[in-house]
Amino acid sequence: MLISLKWLKDYIEIKENINELEHALTMIGQEVEAIEEQGKNLENVVVGQIIEYGKHPDSDKLTLLKVDTGDEVVQIICGATNHKNLDKVAVAKIGAILPGDFKIKKTKIRGVESHGMLCSEKELGIGESHEGIMILSEDAKIGTPLKDYLELDDVVFELEITPNRPDCLSHLGIAREIAAYYNRKVKYPTANFTTLSENIDSNLKVTIDDKEGCKRYVARIIKNVEIKESPKWLQTKLKAIGIKPINNVVDITNYVMMEYNQPIHAFDYNKINNGEIIVRKANEGEKIITLDGEERNLSQKDIVIADNQKAIAIAGVMGAKNSEIDENTKNVVIEVAYFNPVLIRQTSKRLVLSTDASYRFERGVDIENATVVANRVASLISEIANGDVVEGVIDKYFEKYQEKEVTLNIERLNKFVGKEISIEDIGKIFIGLNFQIVESRDNIITIIPPSYRGDITREADLFEEIIRMYGFENIEDKLPNETVKSGTVYKETEAIDRAKNYLVSSGLQEVINYSFIPEEIISFMGFDINNCVKLKNPIVEDFAIMRPTLIYSLLLNIRDNLNRNINDLKIFEIAKTFEKDEKLAIEIPKIAIALAGSKDRNIWDIKPKSYDFYDIKAYVESILESFGMKSYQLIRSNNSMYHPGRSADIMVGRDLVGTFGEIHPDFAEKMDIKRERAYVGELDLEKILKYGKDKIKYEGIVKYPAVQRDLAIVVDNSVLVGNMLKDIEKSSNLIEKVELFDVYEGEKIETGKKSVAINIVLRDKKGTLEEDTINKTIEKILGIVKKKHNGELRSK
């Protein structure tokens, strides 16, 4: 936010120098990002006049000029084409140093000397125009320093305004802050005008169809306006804060917006059909050409201002070409409104159209100030554009602003601050901030904040106001007089750190995503929308649901990285997910992993191989193993977001611990993941801790030899081999490892069956295994396989 010092001085007496003012602004929470002293780079730049115009003898594209600079006539060669004889121009004389450390000196251009330079706005650092040199008005006095002529003696502060203080997106807002800090008075603008005898109700009808989107709409009419260039003082103020002057009426609306933090829109009254304004939702398929010349497709969630035939503005964002103020405008309708911040934000984001107006409406404007602002605009148009103000104001105000009382406990404040702040000082601060003191007794003060301070809702907010206005520098540093006790590391926190360290050491990269996802994706991912936590007022549609899973967010990461040609993706996220309870949302910590693309891409002698189901399975099972969790089963997953034959649920009894697998092709298409298959896994951290082991015991290396046996077992195709391997592994303490190394289906195997080849490693920790023990163990294994999985040892 750019704030002009000269502009501030219209509302408050400022005696402090620039450094003192910068310090004060920073101390009250309005951080100064930069300070620009205008005109600082304009030494030796003066008003000149072209008194002789000719062509360069050796170039058709250059002109050879004689320019009067007041104290001398100099020869200058110019490459611009927008000037003519007797024009008043900006001349950078020899010795001038322009922005970018560009020093002007005597030069020869194609054999002809040039003793200076005619400058554009951009070259002087006072504007963006560089299509030609600056042409000044005829009343400019030759030899006048350009900064004096342009009144560039201002200081502009660039402030970082926090989102909770939209009232400070204005000069009056900052003036109020400075006044409260220095205990001074604010001089508010006035509105002085006479009105025509005719009433606004006979000229204009306003209907609000969308009362949720527009809670207040104020309109005034000014007739017989003269559209022309704004006076110099108005142009100078707007240029100082980076706003390009357009015409007097539009400039006035921008000026008052930067004065009050209230966007204003001006319509050409004669372009509004039948003198009727309707605030409504856009129709399906409706289009509008905005003031920037772009045709924009509207949705039924957008608010529009319309007449009885067409939309004439996107409410709170930008006006339409079909109702703009132009040189033929005679009668003007002024709109001052309060639009729903969430809806404006959604429209602005969807259309990728951010304006000064939308920026302010998104953060919230002062709903109580609408008529004051409308009258201020009418007064200035009456004064500057010679307009006649029509009697009366249309004011559609539905949900009246409700004042909110907030209480402060002084004893609690002083304990928090560590210093005694008197009730008198607290009262002065509240009065300086325009807070109404309702009651003060028994160390309790009750106040009502002004309508533009929507951020004041609780006692802690009042603490902040008092501390920043009392002065941080007036509160001495003091350590608390308390014994610091050692903290407790919670089991969940320790587990999260452990999981992160394991995954990072395994080559995965951690990502952190927003905790919100769109509602439309819920059913597609196999979740019941009734069990999800909905936001009442989401910032955008894509943030409507508190996510019940981390997988959607990881898939967005996969999509975005694949689109940027990053093709070796191994990422994870550990975060809370959310489910609905009767009263509060339940927070469930989860671990999620996503793989996509090819592994080993950067190893020159290894051919890259795409990730597959067994890669995600290995990562998921290694996490479970790292937590000492072994007693689980893998069963085929029925979740609709997974590929039906390449996914699994992790179960302990009937308890679902997690899922993993390949994303279903239909879901991948919906997520716009096209070039690579994506594999994901998600685990419930609370259940891992429930079924895993807190500590994994150390076991020394066994000195006795191992024995290996290979078995080929024939089972039905429907048998899940993973579960069979786990049953084998649990069948004897002598089994050290069980691994699958082949699956065969063919002519030697009965139809509907498969041959599963497994390697079994046996070892006795107490001694060397004897043949009889080995055979009995194998017989036991075959018995379990027969009983649980109807498996037979393959005979051929």
Please check the confidence at residue 607 and state whether its pLDDT lies above 90: no
Report d(CA 110, CA 56) in Å as an integer: 9
Residue pLDDT, tens place only, 304-347? 999 999 999 999 999 999 999 999 999 999 999 999 998 999 99
Q: From residue 422, give the alpha-carbon distance in Å to each of 406, 430, 436.
A: 19, 13, 18
Please check the confidence at residue 583 and state whether its pLDDT lies above 80: no
Establish whether 682 is an annotated binding residue.
no
Nearest C-alpha neighbor of 310 from the set 294, 291, 289? 289
Question: Could you tell me which residues are beta bridge partners of residue 337?
Answer: 217
Report d(CA 322, CA 289) in Å as an integer: 8
Give me the residue label for tokens 């110099």: 232
> Please, is 111 exposed, middle or buried when counting C-beta atoms within 10 Å of its C-beta (0-12, 13-18, 19+)?
exposed
683's torsion region: left (phi>0), alpha (psi -120 to 50) or beta? beta
Locate 291 and state its tokens: 């003031």
HSE, CB side, 13 Å, CA atoms: give it for residue 167.
Answer: 19
DSSP 225-259: ----PPPHHHHHHHHHTT-----HHHHHHHHHHHH
> Please, is 662 exposed, middle or buried when counting C-beta atoms within 10 Å of its C-beta (0-12, 13-18, 19+)?
buried
> Please, is 579 exposed, middle or buried when counting C-beta atoms within 10 Å of its C-beta (0-12, 13-18, 19+)?
middle
Amino acid at the residue 302: D
At residue 794 the predicted structure's pLDDT band, cuts being 50, 70 and 90, is confident
Cβ neighbours, 10 Å, residue 166:
24
At residue 695 the predicted structure's pLDDT band, cuts being 50, 70 and 90, is low
Please state, for a pLDDT cut of 90, what percent of the chain lies above it: 66
Mean pLDDT of 262-275: 96
Residue pLDDT, tens place only, 559-574? 999 988 888 899 999 9
Which alpha helices (DSSP H) does 299-369 contain, by range?
341-351, 356-363
Q: Are strands 303-306 and 332-339 parallel, antiparallel or unpaired?
A: unpaired
Give 748's contacts (C-beta < 8 A, 6+ positions apart). 796
Query: What percentage of the chain's residues is helix, strand, coil (to nearest 5)?
Result: 30, 30, 40
Q: In angstroms, how far is CA 346 from the centroid of its own chain?
A: 12
Q: What is the DSSP letter of 185?
A: -
Nearest C-alpha neighbor of 31 from the set 163, 156, 159? 159
- What angle separates helix 423-432 from helix 410-417, to the nearest 10 degrees? 90
Report d(CA 154, CA 156) in Å as an integer: 6
Give me the residue label for tokens 């075959």: 782
Locate 467 and state its tokens: 């501390």
DSSP 197-231: EEEGGGT-EEEES-TTTEEEEEEEEEES----PPP
Using alpha carbons only, what angle is made at residue 735 by residues 734 and 736, rounded to the nearest 5 degrees? Answer: 110
Are 79 and 62 in contact by the 8 Å Cβ rule? The answer is: yes
Cα Rg of the chain, angstroms: 37
Please check the confidence at residue 600 and state whether its pLDDT lies above 70: no
Q: In angstroms, how far is CA 255 from the centroid of its own chain?
A: 27
Please check the confidence at residue 696 and state whether its pLDDT lies above 70: no
Give 309's contacts (C-beta < 8 A, 6+ positions apart). 273
Are 770 and 756 in contact by the 8 Å Cβ rule? The answer is: no
pLDDT recorded at residue 488: 66
Are 342 and 182 in contact by the 8 Å Cβ rule? The answer is: no
DSSP 440-453: EETTEEEEE--TT-
Amino acid at the residue 689: L
Report d(CA 314, CA 352) in Å as an integer: 13
Give 386's contacts (C-beta < 8 A, 6+ positions apart). 224, 225, 226
- What angle separates helix 171-182 from helix 248-260, to the nearest 10 degrees? 30
Mean pLDDT of 356-370: 94
Which 3-state string (H, E, C) describes 12-38? CCCCCCHHHHHHHHHHCCCEEEEEEEC
Lowest mean pLDDT among 15-19, 139-143, 481-485, 678-682: 481-485
pLDDT recorded at residue 489: 65
pLDDT recorded at residue 630: 80
DSSP 650-685: EEETTEEEEEEEEEPHHHHHHTT--SS-EEEEEEEH
Cα torsion 193, 196, 199, 200: sign? negative
Question: Which H or E run contains 560?
Answer: helix 551-563
Using alpha carbons only, what angle is made at residue 140 by residues 136 and 141, rounded to the nearest 5 degrees? Answer: 140
Are 473 and 27 in contact by the 8 Å Cβ rule? The answer is: yes
Report d(CA 12, CA 14) in Å as an integer: 6
Give me the residue label for tokens 């005679």: 330
pLDDT recorded at residue 602: 62
Are 649 and 687 in contact by the 8 Å Cβ rule? The answer is: no
Cα torsion 290, 296, 301, 307: sign? positive
Q: pTM higher than 0.75, yes or no?
A: no
Locate 35 and state its tokens: 């300070």
- What angle separates helix 248-260 from helix 232-240, to the nearest 10 degrees? 50
Q: From residue 526, give the alpha-carbon distance in Å to each of 534, 664, 761.
A: 17, 12, 40
Establish whether 476 is an annotated binding residue.
no
3-state secondary structure of 121: helix
At residue 17 the predicted structure's pLDDT band, cuts being 50, 70 and 90, is very high
Cβ neighbours, 10 Å, residue 535:
13
Locate 30 and state its tokens: 């309005």
3-state secondary structure of 741: strand
Give 581's contacts (C-beta < 8 A, 6+ positions apart). none
Mean pLDDT of 362-374: 95
Higher pLDDT, 539 or 515: 515
Residue pLDDT, tens place only, 203-253? 999 999 999 999 999 999 999 999 999 998 999 999 989 899 999 999 999
Give helix then strand counts, H and E, for the chain.
Answer: 20, 44
Report d(CA 245, CA 226) in Å as an integer: 16
Using alpha carbons only, what angle is made at residue 287 by residues 285 and 293, rounded to the nearest 5 degrees? Answer: 155
pLDDT recorded at residue 202: 93
Residue pLDDT, tens place only, 624-667? 988 988 888 888 898 889 998 899 999 998 899 999 999 999 99
Are 316 and 364 in contact by the 8 Å Cβ rule? The answer is: no
pLDDT recorded at residue 365: 95
| φ and ψ at residue 143, rounded to 5 degrees | 90, -10
Report d(CA 568, CA 595) in Å as an integer: 8
Establish whether 13 is an annotated binding residue.
no
For the chain, domains (ranges, CATH) are 2-38+154-182 (3.30.56.10), 45-149 (2.40.50.140), 195-397 (3.50.40.10), 406-474 (3.30.56.10), 491-691 (3.30.930.10), 707-793 (3.30.70.380)
pLDDT recorded at residue 604: 61
Residue pLDDT, tens place only, 86-132? 999 999 999 999 888 889 999 999 889 999 999 998 888 877 777 78
Question: Which H or E run contains 786?
Answer: helix 771-789
Report d(CA 288, CA 469) in Å as an integer: 47
320's torsion region: left (phi>0), alpha (psi -120 to 50) or beta? beta
Q: What is the DSSP letter of 131?
A: S
Residue pLDDT, tens place only, 414-424? 988 888 899 99
| Average confidence score pLDDT of the chain | 90
Q: In angstroms, how far is CA 419 from the centroid of its own chain?
A: 38
Establish whether 464 is an annotated binding residue.
yes
For the sheet with 533-534, list strands across it: 516-517, 545-546, 533-534
HSE, CB side, 13 Å, CA atoms: give it for residue 255.
Answer: 26
